[in-house]
Structure 1
Amino acid sequence: VLGVGAGHVREEFEAVGADFEGRGAVLDETLDALRAALGPEEYPEHLGERFAFKDLGQRPRPARDRVPVWVGGSSPAAVRRAALKGDGWLPQGGPRDVLARRIGRIRRLREEAGTAAPFVFGAIAEPLYVGTPGWEVGRRTLSGAPEELAASLREYGAMGVGQVQVRFRSRSRTELIDQMAVFGSEVAPLLQSSCGPL
């Protein structure tokens, strides 16, 4: 899977002398050029405004006819780009109701464009703390018993999400490792379904 994103921090673009305002158009054409270069043709062709190539052989060829491209970001432009040019979408996080609306928008855009290719919706879950924390873990943190956390994370699957990134609240490296371990042993097994892991 190839992950792409236009970027959103103006200062990063200024630091390298790149055009912040034109970043979306650059990424759109880059995706078209990558589709050609990483597609099934040994001699791909792309004639665009910024990139142009033809009669250019490339070996070894990718193992797949289509390298899956996931578009990151939650802006309207990123959502449109994911729907029309991507094979998957990974938002930057945010409330679940907003995620559900954006998933609906991507589905509508793909339907209007006549795109029936498989598509994966990703999500970044709220920060997790397995168990009852003895300290203030911050807003939007999901905490509780493994069964409660698994039930909450399965709600993403009900929205159509096929891949969830998890992150943990902790105060030290040891606590982080412990949280990851207990999640792996007590929560993750509860996320299994007949279709495989969420």
Structure 2
Amino acid sequence: MTLRLGITSPIVTRVPGVAGDWEADAGVEDLVAIAEAADRLGFDHLTCSEHVAVPVDVAAQRGSTYWDPLATLGFLAARTRNIRLVTQVLVLGYHHPLEIAKRYGTLDRVSGGRLVLGVGVGSLAEEFELLGAQFAGRGEIADDALRALRSAWGRERPSYSGAHFEFSDMVVDPHGVRTEVPVWVGGRTPRSLRRAVELGNGWVPFGLDLDTLTEMLSRVEPPAAFDVVLGTGRPVDPIGDPVRTADRLRRIGEAGATVAGVTIAATSSEHYLDQLEALAALNRQE
């Protein structure tokens, strides 16, 4: 089966050592051209991550550029037709579950049901403190938030009673177009994988080698239609090195991926578009 390919969107998130130099000067027009091309070429999804504010000393490692996912994906929803829109990831501790159900449910509605909620527990203590969110015990809080979100999604009058969240007799309108939304759980620990299997529809690990990922996945029995979304790590170069690119995608599939989150090497937005064409053609040949 051909591996489904999504793109780790350039421009909107710039991580040092991964993002291309050209992205610093790229604008909305470049982003739109890339999203429209990925949509036309049949890519599975595009992404946008979430950080409100990153401490200066942390930015050197994680980067400082993070476009807001709600505004960004809402804008791109109007410029695309089929490609899915993935929050990779929303930090659950920064939001009340009904806030997500309302704001991203609206995005699901205006995009015609193309939203995938990528969520995570979060790890940046300074950002939690800045937002008045509780850092200690955040894993347990995130689990309850996920259960609450599942109960609320796509429902006008949701109700839930859990350890950290409780609501009833409230109206959420508009809301998601479905009562189930795909939820991909991010993380790099066995606990994040168990959380994904228990409460989500997919797992989006990061920072782990393929041997480790294969071993971790062998310990669980995911439910049917569970997505394993593995990144390519370093950017791939389908024009300059198609053999290595194809080998990387093959190895990701062998490790258990159903979807590849591809980071693409490019020197300009025009080069990125050419790389997208080459990558789509390469994947069709596999």
Fold match (TM-score > 0.5): yes
Deviation of 1:7 (Å): 0.6
Residue of structure 1 in register with 2:230 after alignment = 123
2:250 is equivalent to residue 154 of structure 1? yes
Q: Per-residue deviation at 1:98?
A: 1.1
Percent of paired sites with the same residue: 36
TM-score normalised according to structure 2 size: 0.53
Determine the C-alpha separation between the residues in 2 that align with 1:129 and 1:120: 22
Report the residue type matching 1:7 in the other structure: G
Give the superposition deviation at 1:16.
3.1
User: AA paired with 1:91?
Assistant: P
Structure 1 runs (4+) greater than 4 angstroms displaced: none
Pick closer, same or farther for the CA change 1:49–1:129 going to 2, 3 Å.
Answer: closer
The alignment status of 1:183 with 2:279, answered yes or no, reads: no
Cα distance in 2 for residues equivalent to 1:70 and 1:98: 19
> Residue 54 of structure 2 corresponds to which residue in structure 1?
none
Q: Partners in 1 of 2:256 and 2:146 — Cα distance?
A: 25
Q: Alignment length, in residue pairs?
A: 171
TM-score between the two structures when normalised by the length of structure 1: 0.73
Contact 1:36 1:46 in 2 (8 A): yes
- Structure 1 residues 43 and 131, CA, compared in 2 at 3 Å: closer, same or farther? closer
Give SS of 2:185's match.
Answer: strand
User: Which stretch of structure 1 is more off in the superposition, 29-38 or 183-192?
Assistant: 183-192
Aligned to 1:58: 172
The one-letter code sitting in structure 2 at the alignment partner of 1:187 is L
Output aligned runs, 1:66-77, within 5 Å: 66-77=180-191
Structure 1: 5+ residue runs without aligned partners?
Answer: 111-115, 133-143
- Write the mapping of 1:1-198 to structure 2, written as runs, cut at 5 A: 1-38=116-153, 42-105=156-219, 107-108=220-221, 110=222, 116-130=223-237, 145-169=241-265, 175-177=267-269, 179-192=271-284
Aligned counterparts of 1:160 and 1:176: Cα–Cα separation in 2: 32
Q: Which amino acid aligns with 1:9?
A: L
Using the TM superposition, give the Cα deviation of residue 128 of structure 1 relative to its aligned residue in structure 2, in angstroms.
Answer: 2.4
Structure 2 SS opposite 1:21: coil
| CA apart distance, 1:52 | 1.1
**Farther off after superposition, 119-128 or 184-193:** 184-193
Cα offset, 1:17, TM superposition = 3.8
Structure 2 distance, partners of 1:25, 1:5, is 12
Unmatched segments (≥5 aa) in structure 2: 1-115
Distance 2:283 2:150 in 1: 34
Rate the CA distance shift 1:191–1:157 in 2: closer, same or farther, 3 A.
Answer: same
The one-character-per-residue Cα deviations of 1:37-70 (angstroms, maximum 9, x if unpaired) are 015x543321112211223343444222311111
| Cα gap change, 1:59 to 1:11, in 2 (>3 Å) | closer
Any conservation in 2 of the 1:103–1:121 contact (CA below 8 Å)?
A: no
- Partners in 2 of 1:3 and 1:62 — Cα distance? 15
Root-mean-square deviation (CA, aligned residues, Å) is: 2.6
